[in-house]
Amino acid sequence: MPQPSDEILARLMALHPKVIDLTLDRMHRILAALGHPEAAIPPAIHIAGTNGKGSTQAMIRAGLKAAGQRVHAYTSPHLARFHERIRLAGDLISEPALAALLDECEAANGGEQITFFEITTAAAFLAFARTPADVTLLEVGLGGRLDATNVMTPRLSIITPVSIDHQQFLGETLPEIASEKAGIIKRGVPVIVGPQPEAALEVIEARAARLGAPVLAYGQHWHAFEERGRLIYQDETGLLDLPLPNLPGPHQIENAGAAIAALRHLGFDETACEAAVTRAEWPARMQRLRRGPLAEAAPGVELWLDGGHNPAGGIAVAATLARMAPRPTHLICGMLNTKDVRGYMRPLAAHAASLTAVAIPGEANTLPAEVTATAARDAGFATTTTAGSVAEALAAIAATDPQARVLICGSLYLAGQVLKDNG
């Protein structure tokens, strides 16, 4: 009987000295040892991009589910439990199934060096190959060209908006980063492209042209925009007049457009497209926390959670706050030391009365709260402070402003800890 998955996962973390080491050699080796499960998964939709990958995937999954499709889904990182990363025919992978798969992959690896993401991605491919489904949704972990998911030929590729992030792995300039994202484009496989800066779009279109991959680009082949409180989507086959996305924020209009473009390309009807924008679930993306210990400790506070962590994420969150009903807004923020902290915070400064900085519990790469608070002041926040925990910060805000809006933000790792603490 396999050990519990948590014990196996902890052991797998030690198989490579680096958490991130982008190459496909180790993936090809372990997949060969496992009998090439990546070649046997149901038809795949492969999603890369800097922002919006998860939301777009969640919307596609909601649309496919409404159309009666059985859907596998792979995403990262997880928030509260590793099992969130692997969804089999609609359901999160069970503990016995996950433990058995990890045990099998560890044996196939034979003690060789391999990163945690690579070996767990191999386990996901194995699960997808063995469980019947109609579609597989694969979200890139980092970049695209050398990402562990980039070992199969999908039915459709999607590239959501590209911006500056992970420069230490993907390059310093937007064209360099876009080139890594565009690495998921395969010969002859259509690619849906979300809104892009011109420098990124040029790179994506050039690679698609070299590979003969049809491009369906925002602003050229499809359009999505808000009009009179509705989402209007238009492509060469016609116009859809849909409700606004249930996932909050104006940026979700663009993510919804990419999801609808994918569903339309695959032949699904308006019913599936409407379900995509009205039934998607994606935690920690401007998620309202209404229940649980944190919410109940500050009953008058309007409590929100978001895991956006780069400058583009900060812009999206700021735009969302700008559209909310007026209410004193305070941020509780924890960041990693690998991020552009000031770039993330700068758009938010005009929309919040204060920022309380916290360290991310149990995270080696967390910024100390004092450093985050200094960055917030540099980014334009007039009032900053620090707290020992999210709960402590929330209690202090509620004591002075019991009817406030509070947004916990800054890192998906902080968001995951909050979801755990909040039950």
Domain range for 408 is: 287-421
What's this model's pTM, rounded to 2 decimal places? Answer: 0.93
DSSP letter (8 states) at residue 194: -
Q: Is 155 left (phi over 0), alpha (psi -120 to 50) or beta?
A: alpha
Q: What share of the chain is helix, strand, coil (3-state, %, to 5)?
A: 45, 15, 40
Convert 169-188 to b/e letters by CB count within 10 Å (16 or more is b). ebbeebbebbbbbbbbbbee
Going by C-alpha positions, the residue among 372, 368, 397, 259 that lies closest to residue 309 is 372
Is residue 375 domain-shared with residue 267, that is, in the same domain?
no
The number of domains in the chain is 2
Q: Which helix (H) or strand (E) holds 234?
A: strand 230-235
Report the 3 state secondary structure along 339-374.
CCHHHHHHHHHHHCCEEEECCCCCCCCECCHHHHHH
User: How far from 96 is each of 141, 387, 405, CA to CA, in Å?
Assistant: 24, 39, 41
Residues 380 and 327 in one domain: yes
Per-residue tens of pLDDT for the chain, all 423 residues? 668 999 999 999 889 888 888 889 999 999 999 999 999 999 999 999 998 999 999 999 999 999 999 999 999 999 989 999 999 999 999 999 999 999 999 999 999 999 999 999 999 999 999 999 999 999 999 899 999 999 999 999 999 999 867 666 677 799 999 999 999 999 999 999 999 999 999 999 999 999 999 999 999 999 999 999 999 999 999 999 999 999 999 999 999 999 999 999 999 999 999 999 999 999 998 999 999 999 999 999 999 999 987 898 899 999 999 999 999 999 999 999 988 899 999 999 999 999 999 999 989 899 999 999 999 999 999 999 999 999 999 999 999 999 999 999 999 999 999 999 888
Scanning 224-337, the segments in alpha helix (DSSP H) are 251-265, 270-278, 293-297, 311-323
Last residue of one domain, picked from the residues 259, 278, 297:
278
The strand order across the sheet containing 222-227 reads: 222-227, 230-235, 238-243
Q: What does the pLDDT read at residue 262?
A: 98
Tell me which residue of 279, 232, 259 sits closest to 160, measured CA to CA. Answer: 259
CATH code (residue 412):
3.90.190.20
Same domain, 256 and 314: no
Tell me how far apart the alpha carbons of residues 147 and 121 are, in angstroms, rounded to a whole number. 10
Statement to judge: residues 87 and 234 lie in one domain: yes
pLDDT given at position 136: 98
Biggest CA-to-CA distance, the chain: 61
**3-class secondary-structure state, position 232:** strand
Domain end (from 278, 310, 326): 278
Please tell me whether residues 373 and 267 are part of one structural domain: no
Query: What pLDDT score was predicted for residue 312?
Result: 86
Q: Based on the domain organization, do 263 and 331 belong to the same domain? A: no
Residues 296 and 272 in one domain: no
Q: What is the CA radius of gyration of the chain?
A: 21
Q: Name the one residue in this structure whose structure tokens are 């309007």.
A: 302
The residue to which tokens 């909310």 are assigned: 324
- Are both 255 and 386 inside the same structural domain? no
CATH code, 274? 3.40.1190.10
Q: Which residue among 278, 304, 319 closes a domain?
A: 278
Nearest-angstrom CA–CA distance, 51 and 249: 13
Report the sign of the C-alpha dihedral through residues 93, 97, 101, 107, in that order.
positive
Q: State residue 168's pLDDT score.
A: 67
Residues 389 and 261 in one domain: no
